[in-house]
Structure 1
Amino acid sequence: MKKLTNRRIYFLAIPIIAIIGALTIAAVQKKSGPPDEPIIAAFKKTYPASVSDAVELVTGKVGTMRYDMKLITGTPIVGRAVTSLVKPAPLEQATPALSTKHSVEMIDNAKPGEVGVIVMEGTLDIAAMGNLMATAAKVRGMAGMVLDGAIRDIWDVRRMGLTVYARSATPRTAVGHYATVARNIPVECAGITVRPGDIVVADEDGVVVVPQERAEEVLKKAQEIDAREKGMFPFIRQFKSLTQAIEKFNRI
Protein backbone atom coordinates (compact mmCIF):
# COMPACT_ATOMS: atom_id res chain seq x y z
CA MET A 1 0.00 0.00 0.00
CA LYS A 2 2.89 2.31 0.87
CA LYS A 3 4.64 1.51 -2.43
CA LEU A 4 1.42 2.21 -4.33
CA THR A 5 1.03 5.56 -2.60
CA ASN A 6 4.61 6.50 -3.39
CA ARG A 7 4.14 5.58 -7.05
CA ARG A 8 0.94 7.62 -7.19
CA ILE A 9 2.73 10.65 -5.69
CA TYR A 10 5.58 10.18 -8.17
CA PHE A 11 3.29 10.11 -11.22
CA LEU A 12 1.29 13.07 -9.94
CA ALA A 13 4.50 15.02 -9.44
CA ILE A 14 5.70 14.55 -13.04
CA PRO A 15 3.19 16.92 -14.69
CA ILE A 16 3.62 19.45 -11.88
CA ILE A 17 7.40 19.46 -12.38
CA ALA A 18 6.90 19.77 -16.14
CA ILE A 19 4.60 22.77 -15.70
CA ILE A 20 7.04 24.47 -13.31
CA GLY A 21 9.87 23.83 -15.77
CA ALA A 22 7.91 25.28 -18.68
CA LEU A 23 6.98 28.37 -16.68
CA THR A 24 10.61 28.85 -15.63
CA ILE A 25 11.84 28.61 -19.22
CA ALA A 26 9.16 31.05 -20.38
CA ALA A 27 10.12 33.50 -17.63
CA VAL A 28 13.80 33.31 -18.56
CA GLN A 29 13.02 33.79 -22.24
CA LYS A 30 10.78 36.76 -21.47
CA LYS A 31 13.46 38.34 -19.30
CA SER A 32 16.26 37.80 -21.80
CA GLY A 33 14.23 39.02 -24.77
CA PRO A 34 14.57 37.93 -28.39
CA PRO A 35 17.92 36.53 -29.56
CA ASP A 36 20.50 38.96 -30.96
CA GLU A 37 21.02 39.13 -34.70
CA PRO A 38 24.24 37.21 -35.52
CA ILE A 39 26.46 40.24 -36.10
CA ILE A 40 25.40 41.85 -32.81
CA ALA A 41 26.09 38.59 -30.98
CA ALA A 42 29.53 38.43 -32.63
CA PHE A 43 30.44 42.00 -31.68
CA LYS A 44 29.49 41.20 -28.07
CA LYS A 45 32.35 38.68 -28.05
CA THR A 46 34.97 41.21 -29.21
CA TYR A 47 36.88 43.80 -27.18
CA PRO A 48 35.65 47.36 -27.83
CA ALA A 49 39.30 48.47 -27.99
CA SER A 50 39.84 46.01 -30.84
CA VAL A 51 36.68 47.30 -32.53
CA SER A 52 38.01 50.86 -32.23
CA ASP A 53 41.27 49.84 -33.91
CA ALA A 54 39.38 47.89 -36.55
CA VAL A 55 37.13 50.83 -37.50
CA GLU A 56 40.19 53.00 -38.13
CA LEU A 57 41.98 50.27 -40.12
CA VAL A 58 38.93 49.48 -42.27
CA THR A 59 37.48 52.96 -42.81
CA GLY A 60 40.50 55.20 -42.35
CA LYS A 61 38.47 57.29 -39.89
CA VAL A 62 38.16 57.53 -36.12
CA GLY A 63 35.11 55.69 -34.82
CA THR A 64 35.47 56.41 -31.11
CA MET A 65 33.60 59.20 -29.35
CA ARG A 66 35.39 61.89 -27.36
CA TYR A 67 37.19 60.97 -24.15
CA ASP A 68 34.51 62.57 -21.96
CA MET A 69 31.77 60.20 -23.12
CA LYS A 70 31.77 58.08 -19.98
CA LEU A 71 29.90 55.09 -18.60
CA ILE A 72 27.62 56.53 -15.90
CA THR A 73 25.51 53.50 -14.99
CA GLY A 74 25.24 49.90 -16.11
CA THR A 75 27.46 47.57 -18.11
CA PRO A 76 29.05 47.25 -21.59
CA ILE A 77 26.56 47.30 -24.47
CA VAL A 78 26.31 46.44 -28.15
CA GLY A 79 23.31 47.37 -30.28
CA ARG A 80 22.01 49.24 -33.29
CA ALA A 81 21.53 52.98 -32.91
CA VAL A 82 18.32 54.97 -32.92
CA THR A 83 18.74 58.74 -32.66
CA SER A 84 17.22 62.02 -31.49
CA LEU A 85 18.44 65.59 -32.04
CA VAL A 86 17.71 68.36 -29.52
CA LYS A 87 18.39 72.07 -30.12
CA PRO A 88 18.05 75.35 -28.21
CA ALA A 89 14.51 76.74 -28.44
CA PRO A 90 12.53 79.77 -27.24
CA LEU A 91 10.31 79.34 -24.22
CA GLU A 92 7.09 78.84 -26.20
CA GLN A 93 8.67 75.97 -28.15
CA ALA A 94 10.40 74.33 -25.20
CA THR A 95 7.24 73.08 -23.49
CA PRO A 96 7.14 69.79 -21.56
CA ALA A 97 5.59 68.14 -24.63
CA LEU A 98 8.00 69.59 -27.21
CA SER A 99 11.25 69.59 -25.25
CA THR A 100 11.46 65.78 -25.37
CA LYS A 101 8.96 64.92 -28.14
CA HIS A 102 11.27 63.13 -30.58
CA SER A 103 13.37 61.54 -27.85
CA VAL A 104 10.21 60.11 -26.30
CA GLU A 105 9.00 58.88 -29.70
CA MET A 106 12.40 57.32 -30.32
CA ILE A 107 12.20 55.38 -27.07
CA ASP A 108 8.53 54.42 -27.46
CA ASN A 109 9.28 52.97 -30.92
CA ALA A 110 12.58 51.32 -30.04
CA LYS A 111 13.10 47.60 -30.49
CA PRO A 112 14.66 45.44 -27.78
CA GLY A 113 18.44 45.65 -27.88
CA GLU A 114 18.65 49.03 -29.62
CA VAL A 115 20.81 51.87 -28.29
CA GLY A 116 19.28 55.34 -27.97
CA VAL A 117 21.58 58.20 -28.99
CA ILE A 118 20.45 61.69 -27.92
CA VAL A 119 22.40 64.78 -28.96
CA MET A 120 21.91 68.03 -27.02
CA GLU A 121 23.32 70.53 -29.49
CA GLY A 122 25.64 73.09 -27.91
CA THR A 123 25.38 72.24 -24.21
CA LEU A 124 26.56 69.88 -21.50
CA ASP A 125 24.58 71.78 -18.87
CA ILE A 126 21.08 70.54 -19.72
CA ALA A 127 19.82 67.02 -19.03
CA ALA A 128 19.02 64.97 -22.11
CA MET A 129 17.08 62.47 -20.00
CA GLY A 130 16.16 61.49 -16.47
CA ASN A 131 14.42 58.65 -14.69
CA LEU A 132 11.11 58.85 -16.60
CA MET A 133 12.71 58.35 -20.00
CA ALA A 134 15.08 55.80 -18.47
CA THR A 135 12.13 53.81 -17.16
CA ALA A 136 10.56 53.74 -20.62
CA ALA A 137 13.86 52.69 -22.22
CA LYS A 138 14.26 49.91 -19.66
CA VAL A 139 10.79 48.44 -20.12
CA ARG A 140 11.19 48.63 -23.91
CA GLY A 141 14.22 46.39 -23.53
CA MET A 142 16.72 48.89 -24.95
CA ALA A 143 20.38 47.99 -24.50
CA GLY A 144 21.14 51.47 -23.20
CA MET A 145 21.46 55.18 -23.93
CA VAL A 146 24.30 57.37 -25.19
CA LEU A 147 23.90 61.08 -24.39
CA ASP A 148 25.88 63.90 -25.96
CA GLY A 149 24.73 66.05 -23.09
CA ALA A 150 23.89 65.46 -19.46
CA ILE A 151 21.95 62.91 -17.46
CA ARG A 152 20.00 63.49 -14.26
CA ASP A 153 18.36 61.24 -11.64
CA ILE A 154 21.48 59.07 -11.75
CA TRP A 155 20.67 57.33 -8.47
CA ASP A 156 17.34 56.10 -9.85
CA VAL A 157 18.67 55.19 -13.29
CA ARG A 158 21.39 53.15 -11.59
CA ARG A 159 18.80 51.47 -9.38
CA MET A 160 16.75 50.33 -12.37
CA GLY A 161 19.83 48.92 -14.09
CA LEU A 162 19.75 50.88 -17.35
CA THR A 163 23.11 51.41 -19.04
CA VAL A 164 23.81 55.08 -19.77
CA TYR A 165 26.84 56.79 -21.27
CA ALA A 166 26.92 60.58 -21.02
CA ARG A 167 29.31 63.51 -21.23
CA SER A 168 28.09 65.19 -18.04
CA ALA A 169 25.51 65.22 -15.26
CA THR A 170 23.19 67.98 -14.06
CA PRO A 171 19.79 68.34 -12.40
CA ARG A 172 18.74 71.04 -14.94
CA THR A 173 15.74 70.29 -17.15
CA ALA A 174 15.48 70.84 -20.91
CA VAL A 175 11.99 72.28 -20.46
CA GLY A 176 12.06 76.00 -21.17
CA HIS A 177 15.46 75.79 -22.87
CA TYR A 178 15.63 73.04 -25.50
CA ALA A 179 13.30 71.16 -27.86
CA THR A 180 13.77 68.08 -30.00
CA VAL A 181 13.70 68.62 -33.77
CA ALA A 182 13.91 65.13 -35.31
CA ARG A 183 14.45 61.46 -34.63
CA ASN A 184 16.22 58.69 -36.52
CA ILE A 185 18.40 61.03 -38.52
CA PRO A 186 22.22 61.16 -38.72
CA VAL A 187 23.62 63.05 -35.72
CA GLU A 188 27.05 64.20 -34.57
CA CYS A 189 27.53 62.61 -31.16
CA ALA A 190 30.71 63.48 -29.23
CA GLY A 191 32.61 63.99 -32.47
CA ILE A 192 31.34 60.94 -34.35
CA THR A 193 28.57 60.66 -36.93
CA VAL A 194 25.91 58.19 -35.83
CA ARG A 195 23.20 57.03 -38.22
CA PRO A 196 20.18 54.90 -37.39
CA GLY A 197 21.25 51.29 -37.77
CA ASP A 198 24.95 51.87 -37.07
CA ILE A 199 26.33 49.51 -34.44
CA VAL A 200 27.30 50.98 -31.06
CA VAL A 201 29.95 49.05 -29.11
CA ALA A 202 30.73 50.47 -25.67
CA ASP A 203 32.39 49.66 -22.38
CA GLU A 204 34.29 51.52 -19.63
CA ASP A 205 36.94 52.60 -22.17
CA GLY A 206 34.41 54.54 -24.24
CA VAL A 207 31.92 54.35 -27.10
CA VAL A 208 32.73 53.09 -30.61
CA VAL A 209 30.43 53.46 -33.62
CA VAL A 210 30.66 50.93 -36.46
CA PRO A 211 29.23 52.11 -39.82
CA GLN A 212 26.55 49.57 -40.69
CA GLU A 213 27.73 49.11 -44.29
CA ARG A 214 31.26 48.19 -43.09
CA ALA A 215 30.19 46.14 -40.09
CA GLU A 216 31.22 42.74 -41.49
CA GLU A 217 34.68 44.02 -42.42
CA VAL A 218 35.16 45.72 -39.07
CA LEU A 219 34.02 42.60 -37.20
CA LYS A 220 36.47 40.38 -39.10
CA LYS A 221 39.36 42.76 -38.43
CA ALA A 222 38.44 43.08 -34.73
CA GLN A 223 38.33 39.29 -34.41
CA GLU A 224 41.78 39.07 -36.01
CA ILE A 225 43.12 41.63 -33.52
CA ASP A 226 41.58 39.75 -30.59
CA ALA A 227 43.07 36.46 -31.77
CA ARG A 228 46.53 38.01 -32.14
CA GLU A 229 46.41 39.53 -28.66
CA LYS A 230 45.25 36.27 -27.10
CA GLY A 231 48.38 34.67 -28.52
CA MET A 232 50.57 37.41 -27.06
CA PHE A 233 49.65 36.91 -23.40
CA PRO A 234 51.11 33.39 -22.99
CA PHE A 235 54.15 34.43 -25.06
CA ILE A 236 54.83 37.39 -22.74
CA ARG A 237 54.38 35.22 -19.65
CA GLN A 238 56.74 32.58 -21.03
CA PHE A 239 59.53 34.82 -22.32
CA LYS A 240 58.99 37.80 -19.98
CA SER A 241 59.57 40.18 -22.87
CA LEU A 242 57.05 42.58 -24.35
CA THR A 243 59.62 43.65 -26.97
CA GLN A 244 59.86 40.12 -28.35
CA ALA A 245 56.08 39.76 -28.33
CA ILE A 246 55.61 42.97 -30.33
CA GLU A 247 58.23 41.85 -32.85
CA LYS A 248 56.62 38.43 -33.23
CA PHE A 249 52.96 39.47 -33.36
CA ASN A 250 53.31 43.03 -34.76
CA ARG A 251 50.80 44.29 -32.23
CA ILE A 252 50.67 46.59 -29.21
Structure 2
Amino acid sequence: MQDNIPRRLLRIDCCAVSDAMDKLGLKDQVASGLAQRATTRRIAGRVVTYRLVAAADAPPAAGAPRHLGTTAIELATAGDVIVVEQRTGIDAGSWGGILTLGAKVKGIAGVVADGPVRDIDEARAYGFPVYCRSLTARTARGRVAEVEVNGAVTIGGVLVNAGDYVIADGSGVAFIPATEAVRVLDAAEAIAAREAAMARALLARQPITQVMGADYEHMLR
Protein backbone atom coordinates (compact mmCIF):
# COMPACT_ATOMS: atom_id res chain seq x y z
CA MET A 1 0.00 0.00 0.00
CA GLN A 2 1.30 3.46 -0.96
CA ASP A 3 0.11 4.94 2.35
CA ASN A 4 2.48 2.60 4.20
CA ILE A 5 5.60 3.65 2.29
CA PRO A 6 6.63 6.60 4.54
CA ARG A 7 6.18 4.49 7.68
CA ARG A 8 8.36 1.74 6.22
CA LEU A 9 11.00 4.28 5.17
CA LEU A 10 11.19 5.72 8.68
CA ARG A 11 12.18 2.29 10.05
CA ILE A 12 15.36 2.19 7.94
CA ASP A 13 17.95 4.80 7.00
CA CYS A 14 19.16 6.67 3.95
CA CYS A 15 22.21 4.41 3.58
CA ALA A 16 20.07 1.27 3.35
CA VAL A 17 17.90 2.96 0.72
CA SER A 18 20.98 4.07 -1.22
CA ASP A 19 22.38 0.52 -1.10
CA ALA A 20 19.05 -0.90 -2.25
CA MET A 21 18.95 1.41 -5.26
CA ASP A 22 22.53 0.43 -6.15
CA LYS A 23 21.50 -3.21 -5.93
CA LEU A 24 18.52 -2.57 -8.22
CA GLY A 25 20.52 -0.50 -10.72
CA LEU A 26 18.73 2.77 -9.88
CA LYS A 27 21.69 5.14 -10.10
CA ASP A 28 22.08 8.83 -9.27
CA GLN A 29 19.16 9.06 -6.84
CA VAL A 30 21.13 10.31 -3.82
CA ALA A 31 21.84 14.00 -3.19
CA SER A 32 24.82 14.87 -1.01
CA GLY A 33 25.65 18.19 0.64
CA LEU A 34 22.12 18.91 1.88
CA ALA A 35 22.91 19.28 5.55
CA GLN A 36 20.64 18.52 8.47
CA ARG A 37 20.14 22.07 9.80
CA ALA A 38 17.24 21.84 12.24
CA THR A 39 16.65 18.76 14.42
CA THR A 40 18.42 15.45 13.98
CA ARG A 41 15.21 13.66 13.12
CA ARG A 42 15.01 11.46 10.04
CA ILE A 43 12.22 12.41 7.67
CA ALA A 44 10.50 10.44 4.93
CA GLY A 45 7.43 11.07 2.87
CA ARG A 46 5.77 11.83 -0.42
CA VAL A 47 7.28 14.76 -2.31
CA VAL A 48 5.60 18.10 -3.04
CA THR A 49 7.81 20.41 -5.11
CA TYR A 50 8.35 24.00 -6.11
CA ARG A 51 10.98 25.64 -8.29
CA LEU A 52 12.52 29.11 -8.02
CA VAL A 53 14.31 31.25 -10.58
CA ALA A 54 15.93 34.67 -10.49
CA ALA A 55 13.22 37.31 -10.10
CA ALA A 56 14.38 38.97 -13.32
CA ASP A 57 13.72 35.72 -15.23
CA ALA A 58 10.23 35.07 -13.86
CA PRO A 59 7.21 35.73 -16.09
CA PRO A 60 4.71 38.33 -14.87
CA ALA A 61 2.41 36.84 -12.25
CA ALA A 62 -1.30 36.66 -13.03
CA GLY A 63 -3.77 37.55 -10.31
CA ALA A 64 -2.98 38.37 -6.70
CA PRO A 65 0.64 37.74 -5.67
CA ARG A 66 1.38 34.60 -3.66
CA HIS A 67 4.53 34.18 -1.63
CA LEU A 68 6.82 31.33 -2.67
CA GLY A 69 6.11 28.05 -0.91
CA THR A 70 2.57 28.88 0.16
CA THR A 71 0.89 26.97 -2.68
CA ALA A 72 3.01 23.89 -1.95
CA ILE A 73 2.02 24.01 1.72
CA GLU A 74 -1.66 24.24 0.77
CA LEU A 75 -1.35 21.29 -1.63
CA ALA A 76 0.59 19.10 0.82
CA THR A 77 -1.02 16.71 3.27
CA ALA A 78 0.24 15.64 6.68
CA GLY A 79 3.43 13.61 6.38
CA ASP A 80 4.48 15.01 2.99
CA VAL A 81 7.94 16.54 2.46
CA ILE A 82 8.34 19.80 0.56
CA VAL A 83 11.27 19.79 -1.87
CA VAL A 84 12.58 23.08 -3.26
CA GLU A 85 14.88 23.86 -6.18
CA GLN A 86 16.73 27.18 -5.82
CA ARG A 87 19.84 26.75 -7.93
CA THR A 88 20.03 30.32 -9.20
CA GLY A 89 23.31 31.06 -7.43
CA ILE A 90 21.59 34.05 -5.80
CA ASP A 91 21.98 34.25 -2.02
CA ALA A 92 18.28 34.42 -1.15
CA GLY A 93 16.05 32.30 1.01
CA SER A 94 14.04 29.53 -0.60
CA TRP A 95 12.24 28.85 2.68
CA GLY A 96 11.74 30.83 5.88
CA GLY A 97 10.20 31.11 9.31
CA ILE A 98 6.55 31.81 8.48
CA LEU A 99 6.58 28.97 5.95
CA THR A 100 8.04 26.73 8.65
CA LEU A 101 5.23 27.53 11.03
CA GLY A 102 2.60 27.04 8.34
CA ALA A 103 4.09 23.66 7.43
CA LYS A 104 4.43 22.61 11.08
CA VAL A 105 0.78 23.43 11.79
CA LYS A 106 -0.30 21.33 8.81
CA GLY A 107 1.76 18.31 9.86
CA ILE A 108 4.22 18.43 6.98
CA ALA A 109 7.22 16.24 7.79
CA GLY A 110 9.98 18.63 6.74
CA VAL A 111 11.64 20.51 3.88
CA VAL A 112 14.56 19.67 1.59
CA ALA A 113 15.98 22.69 -0.27
CA ASP A 114 18.71 22.72 -2.87
CA GLY A 115 19.58 26.31 -2.06
CA PRO A 116 19.71 28.72 0.88
CA VAL A 117 17.19 28.70 3.74
CA ARG A 118 16.63 31.58 6.18
CA ASP A 119 15.19 31.82 9.71
CA ILE A 120 16.81 28.56 10.73
CA ASP A 121 16.59 29.45 14.42
CA GLU A 122 12.81 29.46 14.09
CA ALA A 123 12.86 26.01 12.50
CA ARG A 124 14.96 24.76 15.40
CA ALA A 125 12.60 26.31 17.93
CA TYR A 126 9.61 24.66 16.24
CA GLY A 127 11.42 21.32 15.96
CA PHE A 128 10.82 21.34 12.20
CA PRO A 129 13.35 19.37 10.12
CA VAL A 130 15.20 21.34 7.45
CA TYR A 131 17.77 19.94 5.03
CA CYS A 132 19.39 22.50 2.75
CA ARG A 133 22.45 23.57 0.78
CA SER A 134 23.25 26.68 2.84
CA LEU A 135 21.88 29.28 5.26
CA THR A 136 21.21 32.97 4.68
CA ALA A 137 19.50 35.99 6.18
CA ARG A 138 18.62 37.43 2.76
CA THR A 139 14.96 37.60 1.76
CA ALA A 140 13.62 36.14 -1.46
CA ARG A 141 11.71 39.38 -2.16
CA GLY A 142 13.02 40.98 -5.32
CA ARG A 143 15.69 38.29 -5.72
CA VAL A 144 14.03 34.98 -6.60
CA ALA A 145 10.51 33.98 -7.60
CA GLU A 146 8.45 30.83 -7.78
CA VAL A 147 7.70 29.65 -11.32
CA GLU A 148 6.32 26.14 -10.86
CA VAL A 149 4.65 24.04 -8.16
CA ASN A 150 4.52 20.25 -8.29
CA GLY A 151 6.60 20.06 -11.44
CA ALA A 152 9.91 18.29 -11.91
CA VAL A 153 12.86 19.75 -9.97
CA THR A 154 16.56 18.99 -9.86
CA ILE A 155 17.99 18.47 -6.38
CA GLY A 156 21.70 17.79 -6.03
CA GLY A 157 21.75 16.52 -9.60
CA VAL A 158 18.76 14.21 -9.03
CA LEU A 159 15.62 14.66 -11.13
CA VAL A 160 12.66 14.58 -8.72
CA ASN A 161 8.97 14.52 -9.59
CA ALA A 162 6.04 15.42 -7.40
CA GLY A 163 4.65 12.24 -5.91
CA ASP A 164 8.05 10.56 -5.63
CA TYR A 165 9.34 9.64 -2.17
CA VAL A 166 12.27 11.01 -0.18
CA ILE A 167 14.18 9.92 2.89
CA ALA A 168 16.65 12.27 4.59
CA ASP A 169 18.90 11.82 7.60
CA GLY A 170 22.37 12.81 8.74
CA SER A 171 24.03 10.77 5.98
CA GLY A 172 22.22 12.25 2.99
CA VAL A 173 19.00 12.57 1.03
CA ALA A 174 17.68 9.82 -1.25
CA PHE A 175 14.84 10.20 -3.74
CA ILE A 176 12.81 7.17 -4.79
CA PRO A 177 10.71 7.23 -7.97
CA ALA A 178 7.11 6.50 -7.06
CA THR A 179 6.97 3.54 -9.46
CA GLU A 180 9.97 1.92 -7.75
CA ALA A 181 9.11 2.61 -4.11
CA VAL A 182 7.88 -0.84 -3.08
CA ARG A 183 10.73 -2.64 -4.86
CA VAL A 184 13.31 -0.33 -3.26
CA LEU A 185 11.78 -0.74 0.19
CA ASP A 186 11.74 -4.53 -0.05
CA ALA A 187 15.46 -4.52 -0.94
CA ALA A 188 16.35 -1.91 1.68
CA GLU A 189 14.57 -3.79 4.45
CA ALA A 190 16.42 -6.98 3.53
CA ILE A 191 19.75 -5.11 3.63
CA ALA A 192 18.90 -3.52 6.98
CA ALA A 193 17.97 -6.93 8.40
CA ARG A 194 21.31 -8.41 7.32
CA GLU A 195 23.22 -5.51 8.83
CA ALA A 196 21.26 -5.87 12.08
CA ALA A 197 22.30 -9.53 12.18
CA MET A 198 25.92 -8.48 11.67
CA ALA A 199 25.65 -6.04 14.57
CA ARG A 200 24.33 -8.82 16.79
CA ALA A 201 27.24 -11.01 15.74
CA LEU A 202 29.74 -8.30 16.67
CA LEU A 203 28.07 -7.84 20.06
CA ALA A 204 28.45 -11.59 20.52
CA ARG A 205 32.22 -11.04 20.04
CA GLN A 206 32.57 -12.63 16.63
CA PRO A 207 35.67 -11.32 14.79
CA ILE A 208 34.88 -8.34 12.57
CA THR A 209 36.89 -9.84 9.69
CA GLN A 210 34.54 -12.82 9.79
CA VAL A 211 31.40 -10.71 10.12
CA MET A 212 32.40 -8.33 7.31
CA GLY A 213 33.71 -11.02 5.00
CA ALA A 214 32.90 -12.01 1.45
CA ASP A 215 29.15 -12.06 2.05
CA TYR A 216 29.19 -8.38 3.03
CA GLU A 217 31.35 -7.32 0.09
CA HIS A 218 28.99 -9.03 -2.37
CA MET A 219 25.75 -8.07 -0.61
CA LEU A 220 24.63 -5.67 -3.35
CA ARG A 221 25.05 -8.10 -6.23
Common fold: TM-score over 0.5 = yes
Structure 2 residue 56 is the aligned partner of structure 1 residue 72: no
- How far apart, in 1, do the equivalents of 2:100 and 2:13 lie? 26
Structure 1: stretches of 5+ with no match in the other structure: 1-35
2:26 alignment partner in structure 1: 60
1:60 deviates by 3.3
Instruction: Say if 1:41 and 1:200 are closer, same or farther in 2 by CA, change over 3 A.
Output: same
Say which of 100, 117, 121 aligns to 2:67. Answer: 100
- How far apart, in 2, do the equivalents of 1:93 and 1:221 lie? 44
1:211 deviates by 1.0
1:181 deviates by 0.6
Tell me the SS of whatever aligns to 1:41: helix
2:96 counterpart letter in structure 1: G
Within-5 A mapping of 1:5-154: 37-66=3-32, 68-74=33-39, 75-90=41-56, 100-101=67-68, 103-123=69-89, 125-154=91-120
Tell me the SS of whatever aligns to 2:36: strand
Say which of 189, 201, 211 aligns to 1:235. Answer: 201
- How far apart, in 2, do the equivalents of 1:71 and 1:124 lie? 21
- How far apart, in 1, do the equivalents of 2:119 and 2:24 lie? 39
Q: Give the superposed CA RMSD.
A: 2.3
TM-score computed with the length of structure 2 as normaliser: 0.88
Alpha carbons 2:78, 2:106 under 8 Å: kept: yes
**For each residue in 1:75-102, what CA deviation from the matched residue of structure 2 results, as whole angstroms up to 9, or x when unmatched?**
111100000000012299699x75834x
Structure 2: stretches of 5+ with no match in the other structure: none
1:8 alignment partner in structure 2: none
**For each residue in 1:87-124, what CA deviation from the matched residue of structure 2 results, as whole angstroms up to 9, or x when unmatched?**
012299699x75834x2111122111100011113226
Alpha carbons 1:108, 1:136 under 8 Å: kept: no
Alpha carbons 1:43, 1:219 under 8 Å: kept: yes
Alpha carbons 2:83, 2:113 under 8 Å: kept: yes
Tell me the SS of whatever aligns to 1:129: coil
- How far apart, in 2, do the equivalents of 1:241 and 1:94 lie? 66
1:85 counterpart letter in structure 2: R
1:194 deviates by 1.1
TM-score computed with the length of structure 1 as normaliser: 0.78
**For each residue in 1:189-242, what CA deviation from the matched residue of structure 2 results, as whole angstroms up to 9, or x when unmatched?**
111111111111111111111111011110011011011111111223335422
Alpha carbons 2:54, 2:90 under 8 Å: kept: no
Alpha carbons 1:118, 1:146 under 8 Å: kept: yes
Alpha carbons 1:117, 1:147 under 8 Å: kept: yes
2:190 counterpart letter in structure 1: E
Higher helix content, 1 or 2: 1
1:205 alignment partner in structure 2: 171
Instruction: Say if 1:238 and 1:160 are closer, same or farther in 2 by CA, change over 3 A.
Output: closer
1:145 deviates by 0.5
- How far apart, in 2, do the equivalents of 1:92 and 1:232 lie? 53
Tell me the SS of whatever aligns to 1:156: helix
Higher relative contact order (CA 8 A, sep 6+): 2
